[in-house]
């Protein structure tokens, strides 16, 4: 198993260095730009993603592998921890088979196999969450004296604390743990070891708490904004259907059905569930049900419930040896193979627009390609960098932070960049960062992915003229286009 995990890592590193048609995702580029403004936390996310990105790029440079290194390691760790967790749920005779099922499910599910290639807070949160779950499940295997040993619970506090430095949703862990202990081990609720784990996890949040206290609780406001259900465009059974459709895409339709079946089995036998299986039920089903409920009043992104859905794959693996119908394993294996195919296609969606796709009558329009935001940025940065050399000390401006972050990473030679929240959108970290000096005497190149001129530029500068449009192609398809204007004479501030 260890050799297979190492093989997965090697294959994915090779893919990023040689075979990928993609660059960074917009948020990955954004986290990279935060390195120039290193802080205790940030407006939209806690700091661990950027901190570790700083370590890996200092070692491997500003390359794809350099940016994504810890995501790759976390991706493999999720599979390994899932196998260990699955084996811990079942008696010894079933562990080998269950471990292989867990490996097959976790190594092929698009949420992990594709999404895990992105250096995002989820890529760090998920392995830490899985490791914390494994600590809890292991504690439920032994007598109270060994279960309540101090090192076990201090390790749990560290894992959950680090998870909280990756993403705020790690705060769900201890409420769910309390629910589990109330059901299975109520006497542990009085143990100082358990409470010490929570205190230690909270202490590790000191950087995030300090930053929020000194920045008007900007991080809290962002979380509340994301959870806001006031958008009238979303909510209701239609949004729930869209959410479940998204889950079918990121988990695979067959696997999603088996996951619901596993939860149904847990509920049906709730009174007699082994404590370890009960733990996985408590840590998965309430989260997923909660996000389903949220869709009735607002939109929920497909990755939000991954703390429930990825560990739930372990439940699916644990139940496989106990299914009485011989056809069920074959159906699930078909689902695993379908996921493997989906993953391969997502690794290069250009094949769905090439001659092979046309021959079989299947073509994926670029506008609905889920990977379109990852395409063309390296070539665009090269073109844009050459064009900027016509100016003396140019400054690049954009009112879309995703565009700005991608250009800031890919443009060579480096230039000065500035963000302008022209439309009063939600606050991002760029809002607080100072603009370059001497703007009144420097040319400013305004950049947009839309051809329409933003009238407010005329309010900001004395003069703005259309400049070039730039297009980047991959395999004969224009995958990225930018439109630019050159502006002079800054009138005032933001």
Could you read off the pLDDT of 69-98 as tens digits, one per residue? 999 999 999 999 999 999 999 888 888 999
Residue with tokens 């063309």: 376
The answer to whether the CB of 77 falls within 8 A of the CB of 112 is no
If one counts every other C-beta atom within 10 angstroms of the C-beta of residue 425, the result is: 11
DSSP-derived letter for residue 16 is I
Pairing of the two strands 477-490 and 461-474: antiparallel
Give the separation between CA 286 and CA 308, rounded to whole angstroms: 8
Q: How many CB atoms lie within 10 A of CB 25?
A: 22
Strands 395-398 and 461-474, bridge-based pairing: unpaired
Domain spans of the chain, in order of start: 2-347, 376-490
3-state secondary structure of 273: coil
Rounded Cα distance between 489 and 458, Å, is 10
* Residue the block writes with tokens 């839309």: 450
With tokens 């960062």, the residue in question is 433
By the 10 Å C-beta count (0-12 exposed, 13-18 middle, 19+ buried), 178 is classed as middle
pTM: 0.93
pLDDT, tens only, 428-447: 889 888 888 888 888 999 99
* Stretch (H or E) spanning 162: helix 150-166
> In 285-442, where do the E strands start and end?
395-398, 416-419
3-class DSSP state for residue 447?
A: strand
Q: Quick one: pLDDT at residue 493?
A: 63
Find the helix or strand (DSSP H, E) in which 397 lies: strand 395-398
DSSP state of 303: T
CB 17 within 8 A of CB 64: yes
Count CB atoms within 10 A of the CB of residue 146: 11
CA 165/CA 125 separation, integer angstroms? 9
Low-confidence spans in the chain with pLDDT less than 70: 227-234, 324, 355-361, 492-494
CA distances 252 to 64, 93, 379, Å, are 27, 29, 33
For position 225, what pLDDT does the model report? 73
Rounded to 5 degrees, φ, ψ at 418 are -145, 145
Q: Quick one: residue 354, left, alpha or beta (phi over 0 = left, psi -120 to 50 = alpha)?
A: beta
Cα–Cα distance between 473 and 482 in angstroms, integer? Answer: 12
Range 231-267 burial, b when 16+ CB lie within 10 A, else e: eeebbeeebbeebbebbebbbbebbbbbbebbbebbe
Query: Residue 474 has which token pair?
Result: 């991959």
How high is the pLDDT of residue 438? 83
DSSP notation for 218-247: HHHHHHHHHH----TTS-SHHHHHHHHHHH
Distance CA 195, CA 201 (A): 10
CB 104 within 8 A of CB 157: no
Element (H, E) at 107: helix 95-108
Report how far residue 1's alpha carbon sits from residue 432's, in angstroms, rounded to the nearest whole number.
48
- 3-class DSSP assignment, residue 132: helix
Question: How many angstroms separate the CA atoms of 315 and 266, rounded?
Answer: 9
Dig out the tokens for 102 from the structure: 């867990």
């Amino acid at each position: 198993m260890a050799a297979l995990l190492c093989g997965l890592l090697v294959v994915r590193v090779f893919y990023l260095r040689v075979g990928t048609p993609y660059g960074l995702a917009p948020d990955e580029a954004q986290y990279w730009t935060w390195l120039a403004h290193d802080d205790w936390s940030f407006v939209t996310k806690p700091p661990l993603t950027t901190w570790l990105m700083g370590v890996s790029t200092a070692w491997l440079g500003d390359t794809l592998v350099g940016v994504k290194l810890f995501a790759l390691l976390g991706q493999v760790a999720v599979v390994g921890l899932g196998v260990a967790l699955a084996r811990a749920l079942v008696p010894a005779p079933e562990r080998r088979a269950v471990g292989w099922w867990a490996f097959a499910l976790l190594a092929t599910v698009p949420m992990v196999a594709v999404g895990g290639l992105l250096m995002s807070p989820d890529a760090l949160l998920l392995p830490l969450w899985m490791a914390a779950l494994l600590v809890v499940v292991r504690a439920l295997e032994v007598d109270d004296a060994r279960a309540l040993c101090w090192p076990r619970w201090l390790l749990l506090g560290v894992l959950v604390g680090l998870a909280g430095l990756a993403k705020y949703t790690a705060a769900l862990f201890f409420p769910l743990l309390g629910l589990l202990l109330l059901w299975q081990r109520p006497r542990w609720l009085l143990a100082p070891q358990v409470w010490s784990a929570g205190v230690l996890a909270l202490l590790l949040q000191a950087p995030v708490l300090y930053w929020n206290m000194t920045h008007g609780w900007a991080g809290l406001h962002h979380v509340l904004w994301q959870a806001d259900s006031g958008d009238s465009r979303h909510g209701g059974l239609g949004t729930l259907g869209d959410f479940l459709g998204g889950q079918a895409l990121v988990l695979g339709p067959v696997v999603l059905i088996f996951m619901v079946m596993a939860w149904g089995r847990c509920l049906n036998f709730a009174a007699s569930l082994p404590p370890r299986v009960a733990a996985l039920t408590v840590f998965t089903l309430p989260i997923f049900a909660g996000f389903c409920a949220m869709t009735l009043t607002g939109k929920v992104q497909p990755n939000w419930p991954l703390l429930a859905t990825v560990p739930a794959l372990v439940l699916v693996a644990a139940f496989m040896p106990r299914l009485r119908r011989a056809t069920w394993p074959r159906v699930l294996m078909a689902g695993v193979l379908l996921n493997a195919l989906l993953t391969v296609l997502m690794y290069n969606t250009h094949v769905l627009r090439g001659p092979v796709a046309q021959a079989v009558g299947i073509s994926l329009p670029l506008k609905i390609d889920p990977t379109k935001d990852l395409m063309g940025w390296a070539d665009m940065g090269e073109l844009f960098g050459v064009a900027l050399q016509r100016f003396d000390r140019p400054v690049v401006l954009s009112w879309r932070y995703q565009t700005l972050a991608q250009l800031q990473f890919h443009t060579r030679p480096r230039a000065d960049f500035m963000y302008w929240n022209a439309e009063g959108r939600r606050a991002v970290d760029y809002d607080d960062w100072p603009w370059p000096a001497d703007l009144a005497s420097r040319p400013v190149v305004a950049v947009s992915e839309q051809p329409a001129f933003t009238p407010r530029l005329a309010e900001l500068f004395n003069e703005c003229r259309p400049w070039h449009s730039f297009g980047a192609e991959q395999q004969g398809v224009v995958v990225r286009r930018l439109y630019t204007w050159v502006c002079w004479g800054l009138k005032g501030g933001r």
